[in-house]
Structure 1
């Protein structure tokens, strides 16, 4: 998450990265992010799911992160995305799920990423972090 795209001065590669990090830092609600995600075409939703799964992997999610994140997501414990993220190791084929599972997968991935990234911001990056996505301004931009 270090390259800049389209001249964004915060080091973001794109819209997905910004929105997901705003959700993780509670600058945007999960419901707002889900509304944005739901408005995307099928192909773009699949791309977003792959991208957010990559963020979750980079955040080194743990089993505990998976369970805590899913609890925040509002997704039932029997849903495929719940089962996939809570496996040890987690499964990341969310973009391959049927289209009617994409919103659940987005909610799970973003919620689990938020838990893992918050843990990392408060431990590994505490007071020493130069990551643009860990130092967002308190007023988010519109999608």
Structure 2
């Protein structure tokens, strides 16, 4: 296996940021995002989970966001990723879960991030936001 170059790593992180924010803003379906995630190698899935956990932390996920996101995710509330995100404070060690749990973790993390980020965009960024990730174009959904 060839190690990723720093350019490859940056490009992949930008792609992850775009996909996750498109899901959070309703420009891409969760199903489409899960398909993208499922096609990744296990090491890349772990990278995505770490990245999205960071986004969720930056969005200051609350316990209420966790419950609302889990309800949106389609993952059982008793599944490990659901329990982790609903703890007070939330646990973000999703990349450390067994690989069989990665898709569930992605569904939960992205759904919870969508709830928290929407709340923050409406409260703090409404009308005067300079965050590039909050100003995605309304391009049609990408596969």
Q: Fold conserved (TM > 0.5)?
A: yes
Higher helix share: 2
State the partner residue of 1:49. Answer: 49
State the partner residue of 1:81. Answer: 81
Where do residues 64-79 of structure 1 align in structure 2 (5 Å cutoff)?
Answer: 64-79=64-79
Q: Contact 2:27–2:141 at 8 Å: present in 1 too?
A: no
Could you give the per-residue CA deviations for residues 73-131 of structure 1, whole angstroms, max 9, x where no partner exists?
00001100000000000001100000000000000000000000000110111111011
Distance 1:140 1:19, change over 3 A: farther
Deviation at 1:20, TM superposition (A): 0.2
What is the CA–CA distance in structure 2 between the aligned matches of 1:95 and 1:136, rounded to whole Å? 27
What is the CA–CA distance in structure 1 between the aligned matches of 2:102 and 2:31, rounded to whole Å? 14
TM-score of the pair, normalised by structure 2 = 0.90
What is the CA–CA distance in structure 1 between the aligned matches of 2:119 and 2:129, rounded to whole Å? 13
State the partner residue of 2:90. Answer: 90
What is the CA–CA distance in structure 2 between the aligned matches of 1:141 and 1:132, rounded to whole Å? 18
SS in 1 for 2:20: helix
Unmatched 5+ residue regions in structure 2? 1-9
**Stretches (4+) displaced over 6 A:** none
Deviation at 1:56, TM superposition (A): 0.1
Q: Cα RMSD over matched residues?
A: 1.5
TM-score of the pair, normalised by structure 1 = 0.90
Paired residues in the alignment total 134
Could you give the per-residue CA deviations for residues 40-95 of structure 1, whole angstroms, max 9, x where no partner exists?
00000000000000000000011110000010000001100000000000001100
What is the CA–CA distance in structure 2 between the aligned matches of 1:102 and 1:64, rounded to whole Å? 22
